[in-house]
Structure 1
Amino acid sequence: MTEELVIRMATILDAPKLLEIYAPYVRETAITFEYTVPTVQEFESRIAKILTRYPYLVAEKEGEILGYAYVSSFKERAAYDWAVETTIYINQNQRGSGVGKRLYLKLEEIVKRQNIINMNACIAYPNPGSIAFHEHLGYKTVAHFTKCGYKLDRWYDMIWMEKILEEHPEKPKEFIPINKLFIE
């Protein structure tokens, strides 16, 4: 019997495996504009920081982590509490397998419970795979910035794609941090 895909909240103990997934994107692509692969300790710190307010999910099957996704502050000021930036990285041999879609749909389910309305994805351009993935999930391109990132000996544009999860009410419900959502 084949084990099902499990999506669960990440812990700092996942940092080494998540970093294994992330490192090739740093070294070989412009999908992230980070130049240097972070240390495990830095990755642990990043996970811990995200988990103070937002979901940080991993997808695993038969004990192997296949990918991860999380949301973070769109901007730090309180007026932006209802908007987040999305991030997703999938083990390169799992791309196109549906793992990314499952992670994003679970993220949406959780952030709706946090009263988040706008999900925003910042994507290096060109990146037809990521753009198609986001479009398939209902994201629309809302901004295009010209040659704002330089990596791997070339300039990259940046686009922002956005998905609105529900109508914007006259007065939004209070944002609920992830630790309050699951603890209380």
Structure 2
Amino acid sequence: MTVRDATPEDAAACRDVYAPYVTGGAVCFEADPPTAEEMARRIAAARERHAWLVLDDGGTVRGVAHGGPFTSREAYRWSCAVSVYLEPGRRRTGAGRTLYQALFERFAGRGYRVALAGVALLNEASLGLHRALGFEPAGTFRRVGSEDGARHDVAWLQRDLGPGPRGTPAGPR
């Protein structure tokens, strides 16, 4: 398996990897799985300044990792929000770690200094992956995610992406 940049042609496959997280419970808090067209738009938007990667297994997408702005305010421009999704049955295979490590390298090379991830509680598998990759707790937002008539807490975790001077880095390229 190889990690590579996603292309618009990967949109349907990325949608298929992601859809079970939308329909399978409180994970991403989307009402409906995105269409392939919407997924293509998201890929293009992420690739402009951030990244969208896929785990390619002989032409079949088995997982995705992507990042985007943590928030739109200029002061947060050196931080990014990240996510990873794997097709069913790929947990605890190293696939999530492989995708995330490639994503972190990409972001560090572009000048980003902090990655943040929101994890719906109690998603122990996701929390475990993030902890294993050096994420630390940054805070918990209480009852902010609504899914299936229930309100859920979301833990935010963060990790540094690389060394850099304190203060303002050179900026994403």
TM range (shorter): over 0.9
SS at match of 2:49: coil
Does 2:140 match 1:144?
yes
1:58 aligns with 2:54: yes
The 4+ residue runs of structure 1 with deviation greater than 6 A are: none
- Taking only aligned residues, the RMSD between alpha carbons, in angstroms, comes to 1.3
Q: Is 1:41 the counterpart of 2:54 in the alignment?
A: no
Aligned sequence identity (%): 29
Note if 1:82 corresponds to 2:78: yes
Q: Displacement, 1:29?
A: 1.8
| 1:71 maps to amino acid | G
Q: Secondary structure at the match of 1:89?
A: strand
User: How far did residue 167 of structure 1 move?
Assistant: 4.6
User: Hey, what's the Cα distance between the residues in 2 that align with 1:142 and 1:173?
Assistant: 21
The code of the aligned residue for 2:141 comes to: F
TM-score, normalised to structure 2's length? 0.95
Partners of 2:99 and 2:122 in 1: CA distance = 23
Higher Cα radius of gyration: 1
Residue among 110, 114, 119 paired with 1:118: 114
Q: What secondary structure is seen at the aligned counterpart in 1 of 2:111?
A: coil
1:97 aligned counterpart, secondary structure? coil
Please state how far the C-alpha of 1:168 moved relative to its aligned partner.
5.0
Structure 1 position 14 matched with structure 2 position 14: no
The alpha-carbon deviation at position 63 of structure 1 amounts to: 1.7
| CA distance in structure 2 between the aligned counterparts of 1:135 and 1:19, rounded to whole angstroms | 26
> Does 1:93 find its partner at 2:83?
no
Q: Please state whether the residue corresponding to 1:30 is helix, strand or coil.
A: coil
Instruction: Report how far residue 165 of structure 1 moved.
Output: 2.4
Structure 1 pair 133–170 and aligned structure 2 pair: CA distance change class (3 A): closer
How far did 1:101 drift? Answer: 0.2
Query: Can you list the C-alpha shifts for 1:49-71, whole angstroms capped at 9, x where unaligned?
Result: 11111111000112211100011
* 3-state SS of 1:23 partner: helix
The residue number in structure 1 matching 2:68 is 72
Residue by residue over 1:84-114, the C-alpha shift from the partner in whole angstroms, topping out at 9 and shown as x without a partner, is: 0001110012111111100011111111111
What whole-Å deviation, never above 9, does each CA across 1:10-53 have from its counterpart, x for those lacking one? Answer: 01110000101111111112111001111111111111111111
Q: Can you give the 5+ residue segments of structure 2 that lack an aligned partner in the other structure?
A: none
2:107–2:161 contact (8 Å) kept in structure 1 = no
Shift of 1:152: 2.1
Worse-matched range after superposition: 97-106 or 76-85: 76-85
- Structure 2 CA distance, aligned partners of 1:165 and 1:7? 19
TM-score, scaled to structure 1: 0.89
